[in-house]
Amino acid sequence: MLSYRHSFHAGNFADVIKHIVVIEILEHLIKKDSPFDYIDTHAGAGLYNLSSDQASKLQEYTQGIGRLKVEDWPDLSTYFDVLRKYNPSGKLLHYPGSPMIALHLLRRKDRAWLFELHPADAETLVKNTYEDDRIKVMREDGYKGLLSLLPPVSRRGLVLIDPPYEIKTDYDQILNTVIKAHKKFPTGVYAIWYPVVDRKRIEKLEAKFNASGIKKIQRFELAITEDMRGLGMSAAGMVVINPPYKLMESMGLILPKLVQTLGEDVGASFKCDEWVGES
């Protein structure tokens, strides 16, 4: 299925939590001199016009990035640096997706592999990145493409898995793909985004990860309201395998503040915990 278009949701609260975690991981990776690879299995268009018909229809960014003021978030300076790059006038007109955020942090020696199946989004992604020779855009299945790249030549990297969850089998496909990928590249950092529409699905996903044999798994989740089964996305989170050693500490400070800023009611909350330890 290819009906999902992220342009309708760009800059919403789910993007905020996802991109903060991605930046935290990338900032950790660039501390070492050795190169690394960034692999994005569902890259989208890369950059979104918030005044487009699609973004304007739901205006989800007004309940997401639109609520964050740079002066209130000194600990998110890199995030706002990226936003300024694509909004030089100072007005929030464009929102960068994960590929453009990653490219802002990648060094000359690092590489990015971007997968996108949707024809229109893939074409836009190529246009947004064609001048950068560090990048390769592939119009193919990101799950299969990921496995073909592992282990990367650099032996270091971040894998972002951010599917639309259009069908229920996405949850099992993610788990199966991650297990295979981890066997080929056990030292890589894996960041898996998920929406909370039905809490039971996330609980099942957690149980399956716990039983997978993979170690060092943490979860970071932001809920803007209490769970509302079948009534829309109440929360979104990131599952991180092989997280940077300071990620838990950083997110433990950021998430409570995000709840205060983006929460819609008293049901707003956060989760910052360890699913599986090192042993």
**Could you report the per-residue pLDDT of 5-24, keeping only the tens digit for each?**
566 778 999 999 999 999 99
In the predicted model, is pLDDT for residue 95 greater than 80?
A: yes
Q: What is the C-alpha separation between 240 and 79, in angstroms, rounded?
A: 19
Cα–Cα nearest to 138, from 108, 117, 168: 117
Residue-wise pLDDT tens digits, 24-34: 999 999 999 99
For the segment 55-59, the average pLDDT, to the nearest whole number, is 64
Helix (H, G, I), strand (E, B) or coil at 4: coil
**Does 182 or 60 have the greater pLDDT score?**
182
Judge if pTM exceeds 0.85: yes
Fold of 6-276: Rossmann fold (3.40.50)
Helix (H, G, I), strand (E, B) or coil at 244: coil
For position 3, what pLDDT does the model report?
47
* Phi, psi dihedrals of residue 117, rounded to the nearest 5°: -90, -30
Question: Is residue 146 packed enough to be buried (19+ CB in 10 Å), middle (13-18) or exposed (0-12)?
Answer: buried
Q: Indicate which residues carry an active-site annotation.
A: 162
CA 195, 150, 119, 85 torsion-angle sign: positive
For position 203, what pLDDT does the model report?
95
In the predicted model, is pLDDT for residue 98 greater than 50?
A: yes
For position 131, what pLDDT does the model report?
84
Banded model confidence at residue 168, pLDDT cuts 50, 70, 90? confident
For the segment 133-140, the average pLDDT, to the nearest whole number, is 95
Q: Identify whether the C-beta of residue 234 lies closer than 8 Å to the C-beta of residue 227.
A: yes
Q: What is the C-alpha separation between 156 and 187, in angstroms, rounded?
A: 7
For position 51, what pLDDT does the model report?
79
CB atoms under 10 Å from CB of 121, counted, come to 22
In the predicted model, is pLDDT for residue 1 greater than 50?
A: no
Domain ranges of the chain: 6-276
Q: What is the C-alpha separation between 266 and 264, in angstroms, rounded?
A: 7
Q: What is the C-alpha separation between 126 and 140, in angstroms, rounded?
A: 13
Banded model confidence at residue 109, pLDDT cuts 50, 70, 90? very high
For position 56, what pLDDT does the model report?
59
Q: Identify whether the C-beta of residue 79 lies closer than 8 Å to the C-beta of residue 32.
A: no
**Does 40 or 6 have the greater pLDDT score?**
40
Banded model confidence at residue 106, pLDDT cuts 50, 70, 90? very high
Amino acid at 118: H
In the predicted model, is pLDDT for residue 196 greater than 80?
A: yes
Residue-wise pLDDT tens digits, 110-131: 999 999 999 999 999 999 998 8
In the predicted model, is pLDDT for residue 177 greater than 50?
A: yes
In the predicted model, is pLDDT for residue 2 greater than 60?
A: no
Q: What is the C-alpha separation between 218 and 246, in angstroms, rounded?
A: 12
Q: Which two tokens stand for residue 155?
A: 């032996």
Cα–Cα nearest to 86, from 71, 74, 103, 69: 103
Banded model confidence at residue 54, pLDDT cuts 50, 70, 90? low
